[in-house]
Amino acid sequence: MGLIKRLFGHEAAGGVVLIAATIAALLVANSPLLDWYQAALDAPLSIMLGGTGLTKPLILWINDGLMAVFFFLIGLELKREVLVGKLRRPADIVLPGMAALGGMIAPALIYLALNWGGELRGWAIPTATDIAFALGVLALVGKGLPDGLKTFLLTLAILDDLGAILIIAVFYTDHLNLMYLALALIPLAGLFVLHQTRAVRIAPALLLGAILWVLVLKSGVHATLAGVATAFFIPLTDRKGGSPLEMLEHGLAPYVAFLIVPLFAFANAGLSFQGMTLAAFGSGLTLGVALGLVLGKFLGVMGVMGVTWLMVRAGASDLPEAADWRHMAGIALLAGIGFTMSLFIGGLSFGEGEAMNAVRLGVLAASALAAVAGFAVLRAARH
């Protein structure tokens, strides 16, 4: 029991489980189980009350429902970091903030350049970094790296996720239903009251969050954003001095890392290689995603046209303590591991079909290449 606890407590554990789920999805998608796999994901699941409710395929319950919990956890982490953590002081986020911004703009530009006149809707796919995967690879590098390197990568990835949340809110909202959007203000008002009163019990807030999720889903805004909104209304401290936010964050983290995200990967990474040729790697969509992640992230995080270097030279910011440009190059490569968020945005962009298979191919190839290259560079840079 102690060994299992130590294994799951290791920093790389979440990334390893995520890789295992991805491999399992690829094996199933390229086996006689493919029809069963697709049928299971397409199976309708209903939640009804008095003849009214929701009916969705299992894949959408995973992507819209369980991933709302994933975004809820991201929201909790963002709020804590802003109030008492790594994002509390503006000076601490200048360099990773610039790196995150560059790491979103450059991949989008590369994607657009390779898909001009084609599948432009997927421009946001290569803009996000997978926190669990990237931190897992960093942990596998072992000792000998500057302590501040993990903080830099974590801050960059958190800001990346914030950018992805804003992109989803602004660019992936279709067929807006103003009635449901107005009704969503009611649970939001309840969450605001609970937050202002620093309520001790968190069950009412979670119930209001579930109602908010249904109304946001019906409004046309992507439902996972309800998870983020609910998280922002969870008090950091309650009237009795406890921390509902940290309690929820610590309680949810293992379930998200070892259940929700791997289940999402298993449901969304199943790419069938049947009939696929090398020409598939040359499609604009696959190249745009792959080069956006590997090359775009590297150029953006290192600073387009030397912005990062100029900031350090000018004294506007500093590299993490004891870190040099080899370490930063390794981190920039790890930022190209898009995986979870890239697959998620790919699903929002294209749904299922040939386009999504091209996205899967680009994301899987780029994430594997970025992980191996980042690991090799950081391993060589160890002191």
DSSP-derived 3-state class of residue 129: coil
Answer for the pair 292, 107: CB distance below 8 angstroms, yes or no: yes
Task: Tell me: pLDDT of 243 over 80.
Answer: yes
Minimum mean pLDDT among 20-24, 49-53, 265-269, 291-295: which range?
49-53
pLDDT digits (tens, 9 = 90+) for 313-363: 666 566 677 677 888 889 999 999 988 888 889 888 888 788 888 899 999
pLDDT of 125 above 80: yes
Give me 294's structure tokens: 């590997």
- State the average pLDDT over residues 280-307: 84
Q: How far apart are CA 231 and CA 211, in angstroms?
A: 14
Q: List, for residues 37-69, the tens digit of each pLDDT value.
A: 999 999 988 777 666 667 788 888 888 888 889
Is residue 339 within 8 Å of 264, Cβ to Cβ? no
Is the pTM for the entire model greater than 0.85? no
Return the residue matching tokens 């995603």. 289
Longest dimension (CA), the chain: 66
What's the mean pLDDT in 188-211? 93
Q: Can you list the domains of the chain with their CATH numbers?
A: 2-380 (1.20.1530.10)
Residue 246 — very low, low, confident or very high, per pLDDT cuts 50/70/90?
A: very high
pLDDT of 8 > 80? The answer is no
Q: Please report how the helices 339-350 and 13-29 are oriented relative to each other, as an axis angle in degrees rounded to 10.
A: 40
State percent of the chain over pLDDT 90: 32
Cα 192 to chain center, whole Å?
Answer: 26
